[in-house]
Structure 1
Amino acid sequence: MRLIIENQFLTGVIIGVLYGVLTRIMLLRTDYRQYPTYPHGRIIHISLGVIAAGLGAVAVPSLLGKDYTAVTFLSLAAQQFRDVRNMERETLSKLDEMELVPRGASYIEGIAMVFEGRNYLVIFTAFVTTLLSVLFAWYWGVLFGLLALFISFRFRSGKTVGAIADVRCAEVRVEGPNLYVGDIYIMNVGLEESQKLIAKRGLGLIATPRSTNGRLALANLGQRQALLHDLSTILGIYRDSGEPSLIPLSKLDINDGRLGVFLMPIDRDGTKAEKVFLNVPLLESAIKMPNQAKI
């Protein structure tokens, strides 16, 4: 205890770095979206989290010692984390070319933005934790660190499609060459063999938006591509390359904004498909709020 009191700056920096790194680890998940890949992607992002935590923590004694060049290091860190965003964007864009059902540019941009933003959250956590430990007492820093971990855990996931729409399974109908999901026209299927396969294995969903804002989000092509990608990734896809008639598709009913989704899953579980649909992330680029316009 005496060592902690006599080395208040060092203690504050250690506490700040510790909680900053813990925050980054808590925000780091490998799931069906496969980012970051295991284990090398995790090593890269944990290492960047350590750097971010160190920058945020060391900035406190530097500023208290009137060494204002610490601000320069924070600006360099911001540039570094923008490079991280670019790296993730380029990597996922290259991988997307090999997907049977791509993520799409909007989904990739959202993922890259998350990686950049979480490093800034680590800097903030480390900075404030160290500041409280130095100005007041080490246990205040520990308490804020625990609060920061709780907040990070609570808000590590954004909104999902379930917040803006309801979804139900619908009948897949093949009437001659025309394919319908419920009463929503999807596409023309010319090959008789493909028509039989679709009638046998096809699965349809219809999403109904709850508001004008939700209607615009479902109409966004990037959001619709993200829906198709997640559904195909989790449920599987019953097709190979070079089979355009079996590719998952989504079409809008222009009259009421409903979205019809057709896919050929390996796992034809309608209840599971509904849950997957509702849990697809709501992309920031798809969020439009015309209801809040002054006019």
Structure 2
Amino acid sequence: MKLELYTQAVIAGLVVGFLARLRMLRTDYRQYPTYPHGQVIHLSLGLIAAALGSVAVPALLDRNYTAVTFLTLAAQQFREVRNMERETLSKLDQMELVPRGSSYIEGIAMVFEGRNYLVIFAAFVTSLAVILGGWISGALAGAVMIWISGRLRSGKYLGEIADVSEGVLRLEGPNLYVDDIYLMNVGLIDDQERIRQNGLGIIIKPRDEDSRVTLSNVGQRQAILHDVSAIMGVYRDTGEPALVPISKRDVKDGRLGLLLLPQKRDARMAIEVIKRVPVLESAVRMPTEIGEN
């Protein structure tokens, strides 16, 4: 009877853990993981993580404390997965016209490692619920864990911390501005004309002091430029440094001015894309939450 109960718990934990990983797997505009090979790799690792989490409960209840050792080894392996993701994305980034940047890559790699730990936790909780309360408790716990996994799939978006609006691009001689923010010097007449025809100016205004510091992060700004270019395209080719999308910050009020060169000049679409850019964990700063000593 005890063996049968443990078997049911392991199966339930395995299924819920795998479903949780499937819930968190998404191929989107970032084009990673690629379909289908990247997805197979991550789903396979998710299945392994689910097996570890579900088996750990019966092992610990039987006082087989070597299960903790296996979990420790699993953590080391998933850290290697993070390193693998970082190396892969860094190599792919060299082929991008507008690269992601190291901060964005580190954030993606961290997410893939963290999701495996969520799978272990989901399988562990489900397996424990089946042993303590039966199938009904296990089903309820599994449903809750899958829901939590979906909620943790995404963090904050840029639209939650800043206001995004279209700005006016203007050239004063060779000097390029978006509204009153100086962007760069454009020397060639041909480049100036292409910017006039295809350029799009965007202003990002932080809502508070915390978001102002977050937007000043170079990695966060590069992530914005990459996401817009990945979705809307970029009107340039290699060897054209004057036509690279750039961002400049107004040091007085923290506003961010962007020069975009999309294939299709659509300000409304660009604003919506920027609002959906994820806020990088490495870029988040909260100076207003510093307590008094």
If the length of structure 1 is used for normalisation, what is the TM-score? Answer: 0.97
Separation in 2, partners of 1:68, 1:200? 68
String of CA shifts for 1:86-137, please: whole Å, max 9, x gaps: 0000000010011100000000000000000000000000011001101221
Superposed displacement of residue 5, structure 1: 8.6
Which secondary structure state, in structure 1, belongs to the residue aligned with residue 183 of structure 2?
strand
**Correspondence for 2:120 among 123, 130, 138:** 123
1:71 partner letter: V
**Which residue is 1:200 aligned to?**
197
Shift of 1:152: 1.4
Matches within 5 A, 1:133-172: 133-172=130-169
| Structure 1 partner of 2:104 | 107
Whether 2:35 is the aligned partner of 1:38: answer yes
SS of the residue 2:285 aligns to: coil
Q: Give RMSD over aligned pairs.
A: 1.1
Q: Which amino acid aligns with 2:62?
A: G
Corresponding letter in the other structure for 1:40 = H
Aligned-partner Cα distance in 1 for 2:171–2:190: 12
Counterpart of 1:22 in structure 2 is: 19
Q: Secondary structure at the match of 1:100?
A: coil
Question: Is residue 255 from structure 1 mapped to residue 252 from structure 2 by the alignment?
Answer: yes
The equivalent position to 1:179 in structure 2, one of 171, 176, 189, is 176
Give the alignment partner of residue 216 of structure 1, picking from 195, 213, 217: 213
Structure 1 residue 154, shift from structure 2 partner: 2.2
CA distance in 2, matches of 1:6, 1:49: 25
What is the identity, as a one-letter code, of the residue corresponding to 1:107? Y
Matches of 1:50 and 1:274, distance apart in 2: 38
Measure the CA separation in 1 of the matches of 2:41 and 2:152: 23
Q: Deviations over 1:126-169 (max 9, x none)?
A: 01100110122121011100111111122311001111100100
Q: Secondary structure at the match of 1:166?
A: strand
Unaligned runs of 5+ in 1: none
User: What residue ranges of structure 2 are gaps of 5+ in the alignment?
Assistant: none
CA distance in 2, matches of 1:123, 1:252: 42
What secondary structure sits across from 2:164 in the alignment?
strand
CA offsets 1:155-189 (integer angstroms, 9 cap, x no match) = 31100111110010011111110111111110000
The one-letter code matched in structure 1 to 2:108 is: I
- The answer as to 2:73 corresponding to 1:76 is yes
CA distance in 2, matches of 1:6, 1:128: 19
94-103 vs 154-163, which moves further: 154-163
Quote the offset at 1:256 in angstroms: 0.8
Question: Equivalent residue for 1:230?
Answer: 227
Moved over 2 A (4+): none
Moved more, 72-81 or 146-155: 146-155
2:243 counterpart (229, 234, 246): 246
Separation of aligned partners in 2, 1:180 and 1:13:
61
| Percent of aligned pairs sharing the same letter | 61
Distance 1:135 1:252, change over 3 A: same
Corresponding residue of 2:286: 289
Give the whole-Å Cα distance in 2 for the aligned partners of 1:139 and 1:87: 39
Match of 2:86 in 1: 89
> How far apart are the structure 2 equivalents of 1:208 and 1:6?
60
Aligned length: 292
SS in 2 for 1:7: helix
Q: Deviations over 1:219-241 (max 9, x none)?
A: 10000000000011111100000
Equivalent of 1:277, from 274, 277, 283? 274
Q: Secondary structure at the match of 1:46?
A: helix
Q: Tell me which moved more, 6-15 or 233-242.
A: 6-15
Q: C-alpha separation between the residues in 1 aligned to 2:72 and 2:63?
A: 17
CA offset at residue 6 of structure 1?
7.3
